Structure 1
């Protein structure tokens, strides 16, 4: 292990990896006028649109794991930049739907290409994107993401029965 991470806890290593990734994506998408958070919103929206969805801000927030208020703030900024449109949902006037503009689709497609290059670099030590080690790593990450966390310690997950 490098950078003094020998003996580090799994939590610290997860934090370090997430910070390494965030910083790398921030730097990579900065020439396109984006931040990592903006990229996450746009790329998720891009993927949802490709499957025919026009999500609400709330649904997109749930998809990417950000607070709805933060997604709203990001969306307003991206709307000002001409990358997405925010419109009222005809079925629910309280909800705001998001859609990429043509410029937003172009910028997002470029950003996705850049970030895919970073992902290939990150996963090269595991054998690349399609390798068995990467597939196992992805399964382990999903397991951890699906595990409930209780910051107040009111549930003892180690003693719960399945």
Structure 2
């Protein structure tokens, strides 16, 4: 936030809300032995498996918005914890497919219930999860997430010394 601005910028507020959410989810799923990032992986994997998909690490990374290398690290930790299994894709030996174990499905269902309760609490000021204001908020967030980012502009003399 700059000194001259009348209030916080949308970017600052999104950043603050994202951090608040990450901390809240970390605390909520810690008793289940998960972190927020691990929850993002297992919950996404749970949904994808229910839809009949056995995604690769790359596909899961694209779905979650996490870096592929980070998903690989998380997958190894979740495999060590007995929550997922990693196998080579028979169609592409370079790709690793992921699937929840039985224990992973149980823990994930518990975690999803905990996070749904948390989401209800977070959205209470908007009337709760199913309220029109919450649905409108979700639509706005989706619009922002679906908008492509412009390609990075290399540093040149016309952009040096300026701030966005």
Give the TM-score, by structure 1 length: 0.89
What are the residue-to-residue correspondences of 1:76-155 with 2, within 5 Å?
A: 76-150=76-150, 152-153=152-153
Secondary structure in structure 1 of the residue aligned to 2:123: helix
Q: Which has the larger radius of gyration?
A: 2
Q: Deviations over 1:85-123 (max 9, x none)?
A: 000001111110000001100110110010000000011
- In the alignment, what sits opposite 1:70? 70
Structure 1 runs of 4+ with >6 Å offset: none
Aligned length: 149
Secondary structure in structure 2 of the residue aligned to 1:130: coil
C-alpha displacement of 1:129: 1.2
- In the alignment, what sits opposite 1:44? 44
C-alpha displacement of 1:23: 0.1
**Uncovered stretches (5+) of structure 2, i.e. residues with no partner:** 1-5, 155-164
More divergent stretch after superposition (130-139 vs 145-154): 145-154
Give the TM-score, by structure 2 length: 0.88
**Uncovered stretches (5+) of structure 1, i.e. residues with no partner:** 1-5, 155-162
